[in-house]
Amino acid sequence: MIKIENLTKRFGERIAVAGIDLEIKRGEIFGLLGPNGAGKTTTVRILTLLSKKKSGSVKICGYDIEKDSERIKELIGVVPQHMSLDQDLTGRENLVLQARLHHLKNKAAMEQRINEILEFVELTDRADDKSRRYSGGMKRRLMIGMALLHKPKMLFLDEPTVGLDPQVRRKMWDLIRKMNEAGMTVLLTTHYIEEADQLCRRVAIMNRGRIIAVDTPQKLKEKVGRVVVEHMEADGMINNFFDNREQAASYVAGLNSNATVREANLEDVFIELTGRRVND
């Protein structure tokens, strides 16, 4: 679906994307996981034609992002990191505005499509309220609705759940899964470990403009060891990784201090690879 080769981007002297290679397959939910400043938004903005790359090649559905940009615009939908709504307008009015941008001219067809979208993102009841009055989750759902209007094949979501309560975040995951089950390929960025782990079929871990690992969450965790023993030593907290609970237990038996045994997560993978935490 997407093939990225040696993509780079600079802002002056600063290298935001330092030569990444990535393939995203049709039908997957793919996550770009990394801390603030890793280069996730810059990458998404290049893929969605909002920013120009410095070098490298990007193909979406076989089309080159520079040569075939008009074709690509029809194939993709984008939900940016920051609010892209007109909050003085109702949900429905925002959708009408978006429909005009996509030159959906037939009035009846447009109204029908907008009603379908409102149903899909569960905003039918509140369609005619000013979007300013919506909760954070509802605003995010409206932005998704706007991105889906022209029936794209692939959706980009930049930090889709940032700032949402855990419960609302889970509802957003359900919506993303529902779109994916309906055939949508999804690329999302996140700095939430759990989101990458629970929602994504494959995850690319990004740090300082580079992709340092790509795999399923399960495989990434297996590489560091599935089970973690955390215990206090004189120089601080120590993490030790094991392939299974038995090995972890026999290690714990030999310790003098108290220890916690838990499943490894993607944060552990990130720390092993970079020596720092995703969210510090």
Ligand X SMILES: Nc1ncnc2c1ncn2[C@@H]1O[C@H](COP(=O)(O)OP(=O)(O)O)[C@@H](O)[C@H]1O
- Please give the residue ranges that form the binding site for ligand X (CB under 6 A): 11, 14, 16, 34, 36-42
Q: Hey, is 117 helix, strand or coil?
A: helix
| From the list ligand X, Mg ion, none, partner contacted by residue 37 (C-beta under 5 to 8 A by kind) | ligand X
Task: Please tell me what DSSP assigns to residue 265.
Answer: -
Give min distance, CB of 215 to ligand X, in A: 20
Nearer to ligand X, 10 or 223 (CB): 10
Nearer to ligand X, 11 or 52 (CB): 11
Query: Other C-beta atoms within 10 Å of 250: how many?
Result: 10
Task: Tell me the window of 41-49, 84-92, 164-172, 212-220 that interacts with Mg ion (CB under 5 A).
Answer: 41-49
CB burial of 26-54 (b: ≥16 within 10 Å; e: otherwise) equals eebbbbbbbbeebbbbbbbbbbbbebebe
Q: How far is CA 236 from CA 73, 191, 233, in A?
A: 51, 25, 5
| From the list ligand X, Mg ion, none, partner contacted by residue 6 (C-beta under 5 to 8 A by kind) | none
- Does residue 41 belong to the site contacting Mg ion (CB under 5 A)? yes
Q: What does the CA dihedral 178, 182, 184, 187 come to, rounded to 10 degrees?
A: 20
Nearer to ligand X, 14 or 103 (CB): 14
Residue spans of alpha helices (H) in 10-106: 40-47, 69-75, 91-101
State phi, psi for 150 to the nearest 5 degrees. -90, 20
Instruction: Specify the amino acid at residue 100.
Output: R
Nearer to ligand X, 151 or 276 (CB): 276
Give min distance, CB of 28 to Mg ion, in A: 21
Give min distance, CB of 55 to ligand X, in A: 16
Nearer to ligand X, 58 or 99 (CB): 58
- Report how many residues bind Mg ion under the rule CB under 5 A: 2
Q: Which residues, 21 to 40, sit near Mg ion by CB under 5 A?
A: 40
Instruction: Specify the amino acid at residue 196.
Output: A
Give min distance, CB of 43 to ligand X, in A: 7
Query: Other C-beta atoms within 10 Å of 278: how many?
Result: 22
| From the list ligand X, Mg ion, none, partner contacted by residue 131 (C-beta under 5 to 8 A by kind) | none
| From the list Mg ion, ligand X, none, partner contacted by residue 98 (C-beta under 5 to 8 A by kind) | none
| From the list ligand X, Mg ion, none, partner contacted by residue 11 (C-beta under 5 to 8 A by kind) | ligand X
Q: Which residues contact 70 (CB under 8 A, 6 or more apart)?
A: none
Q: Are 33 and 266 in contact (CB under 8 A)?
A: yes
Nearer to ligand X, 110 or 162 (CB): 162
Return d(Cα 245, Cα 229) in angstroms, integer. 10
Strands 63-64 and 202-207: unpaired
Give min distance, CB of 17 to ligand X, in A: 7
Binding mask 231-250 for Mg ion (x = CB under 5 A): --------------------
| From the list Mg ion, ligand X, none, partner contacted by residue 88 (C-beta under 5 to 8 A by kind) | none
Structure tokens that stand for 9 in this block:
């981007």
Nearer to ligand X, 131 or 190 (CB): 190
Q: How many angstroms separate the most distant Cα atoms in the chain?
A: 75
Residues that bind Mg ion (CB under 5 A): 40-41
